Structure 1
Amino acid sequence: MLVSVVMAVFNGENYLKESIDSVLQQTYRNFELIIVNDGSTDQTRYILSQINDNRVQVIHLESNVGSANALNKGISTAKGDWIAIQDADDRSLPTRLEEQVKYVFDHPNIVAVGALKACISGRLEIPKEKLKREEHGNFLVDPEHMRLNRFYINPLCHGSVMFSKAVFQRIGGYDPTYQICYDYDLWMRMFEEGPLHKLPKVLYEYRIHDDSISKGNDGVINEDWIVVGKHIKSIVSENNKGLVPKFAVLGNDHACREFKRTAEVCHINVAQYIVQVSENTKQKIFQDYLAGNIDAVILLEGVQFLTLFQTLFQTLFQTLQRKGMEWNKDLFKIWAGYLYS
């Protein structure tokens, strides 16, 4: 099986050769490597000109169009039926392609397969405990577990994934309106096409830079929540026969303030924000649900909330489930812990 490995790079001179070498040294040999130079202004073009391997195809874009557009361009030229993504500053371990190809043959019904990641430092050394924290997505391995928790966090490390080109094309490829989370949006749409799996071993090394661990602190709306918000809204709207759904959002004060910005971007109608929970809250929410005042509930969860406060929220969700509300239909949970990292 021919695998098309696709990489988009913009000003990636620091780790580009290392990343390319990790692909060229794969134990699986039947692949092509398509590299899209997304208008780089550093030494990227020169580094690419030094490659002497007939498996490598380089596409130079004269201006920067963004990673989603660049990847769409590269995949459009791919000859393989399966696409393996490789980020330009990360490393694939030597058996990655071999093990993923075998997995695809053994599981012909899947649309994508990822792998666990190990986080490594960029120029500045990142403390080990922070690197481990960035590996949080590794806890999602079981396919059904990934699907159930797809709104909670991004279940797959982008560069670790191999996916069906046919499915990718059928659902429209990457959405270039996202600057960062185009991969998360893609997985959300792929979940509607078939199973996404993950090999339960580390096959990919994901590089963490010192400025990439301060999410949510720079005033920029988090794209994870934009992706999740749009897909949750779509699901509830469909269940609500196309009517604009109304939500109750639960979380601490900080998380709710952040979600208000997401709601504005996604045009999510939040009927109420709940930052305190009492015994009466459970009954009131369910009564509002039965009366049509709300159509779904979203819980914003983070490790900082694992106190009596959070326990009350969890108990509330369990009560609502016992009363007939359903997970990922009218009950949703989103990870908010990044706000305080």
Structure 2
Amino acid sequence: MRGDPITIITTVRDGDAYRDRYFGNLRQILGPHDHAVIVDDGSTAPLATPSDWHNEQRLIILYPGRIGRGAALNLAIENSPTDLIAIQDIDDLSLPDRLGRQVDVLCYDHNQLVFARAMSDPWRPTLAALQHFSPARLYFSNPLHHSSLAMHRSVWARAGGYATDLPCCIDLDFYLRACCVAKARISRLNRRLIERTLDPGTRHFARIPNALYKKTRASVLARYRPDLPWSIWLAAAKLRELQLFSARDVR
């Protein structure tokens, strides 16, 4: 039997196309003492639960209106009945043993952001069941899926929650702040424990203008760079920036 209970956190805006699949997945993965908190971030038609969830005591749905994704994540976590939190997007699925494996890691050490791999991730040889990432790794690229994140509420609280003033890159900002401010570490289970929807037409990031994304990402990375010691990842990221800059000059 699994140890501590955990709460699935989901924010949604106009996600009805995935509603039934999402709630079916919750039925598969939630234990008897687990919960789910959903924040409807201003959907055109408010999210309605399937009939078999109407009297479900493990489910909380909040309708604050359109408050933005960062504020919606914070509101969901504030209303979580448990200290262990797992993020799941409404269009993604968790495999049956996802929560149990992440709870095991968090019960051993609360001060972590614990991720998992996705079914769509490329296969890479590895010996370790749990891989640790330097936050500097995120300056080169981001191999982490926010929809696979699990953590203890204390990390979120010490980091100051999710940013509410960013148009995008909210996840990246939170990871770096959790490491630099809350002194948490990043870990990833090397098991494929989530299934992602990869259709760009349904993904939030695909609707963000490229120029806005690049500007925001650069601002977030610059904010935390002074707090990180030198590493090969920072050097590699800087080299790539210089190469891209030189390529633009040539054109």
TM range (shorter): 0.7 to 0.9
Partner of 1:147: 135
What CA distance in whole angstroms lies between the structure 2 residues aligned with 1:159 and 1:117?
A: 9
Structure-2 separation of matches of 1:237 and 1:28: 39
- Aligned identity (percent) is 23
The answer (yes or no) to whether the contact 1:28–1:97 under 8 Å persists in 2 is no
Q: Distance in 1 between matches of 2:117 and 2:168?
A: 20
Q: Name the SS of the counterpart of 2:138 in structure 1.
A: coil
Q: State the aligned residue count.
A: 232
Once residues 89 and 39 of structure 1 are traced to their aligned partners in structure 2, the CA distance between those partners, rounded to angstroms, is 17
Q: Deviation at 1:3?
A: 1.1
The runs of at least 4 aligned residues of structure 1 exceeding 6 Å deviation read: 136-141, 215-218
Matched residue SS, 2:67 = coil
Q: Secondary structure at the match of 1:196?
A: strand
What residue is the counterpart of 1:334 in the other structure? none
Quote the offset at 1:101 in angstroms: 0.7
Partners of 2:124 and 2:57 in 1: how far apart? 35
Compared CA separation, residues 64 and 207, structure 1 to 2 (3 A): same
**Residues 33 and 196 of structure 1: CA distance in aligned 2, closer, same or farther (over 3 Å):** same
Q: Which residue of 2 aligns with 1:82?
A: 84
TM-aligned CA deviation for residue 231 of structure 1: 3.0
Q: Tell me the distance in 2 between the aligned counterparts of 1:210 and 1:48.
A: 26
Q: Taking structure 1 as reference, are residues 102 and 169 closer, same or farther at Cα in structure 2, changes over 3 Å only?
A: same
| Contact map agreement 1:34 1:56 (CA 8 A) in 2 | yes
- Gapped runs of 5+ residues in structure 1? 120-134, 240-246, 257-273, 277-341
1:254 to 1:136, Cα distance in 2 relative to 1, 3 A: farther
Judged with a 3 Å threshold, the aligned counterparts in structure 2 of structure 1 residues 13 and 219 are, in CA distance, closer, same or farther, namely closer
Answer yes or no: is 1:175 the counterpart of 2:177: no
Normalising by structure 1, report the TM-score: 0.59
Which blocks of at least 5 consecutive residues in structure 2 are unaligned? 230-237
SS in 2 for 1:25: helix
Please give the secondary structure, in 2, of the residue aligned with 1:250: helix
1:111 counterpart = 2:112: yes
Residue matched to 2:234: none
Question: Normalized against structure 2, the TM-score is what?
Answer: 0.78
Q: Distance in 1 between matches of 2:247 and 2:138?
A: 19
Task: Find 1:203's aligned residue among 193, 213, 219.
Answer: 193
Q: Aligned residue for 1:321?
A: none
The answer to whether structure 1 residue 34 and structure 2 residue 37 are counterparts is yes
Q: Deviations over 1:127-177 (max 9, x none)?
A: xxxxxxxx4798997314x53412112232011010121110111111122
Within 5 Å, which residues of 2 pair with 1:184-199?
184-192=172-180, 193-199=183-189
Q: 1:29 deviation in Å? A: 3.6
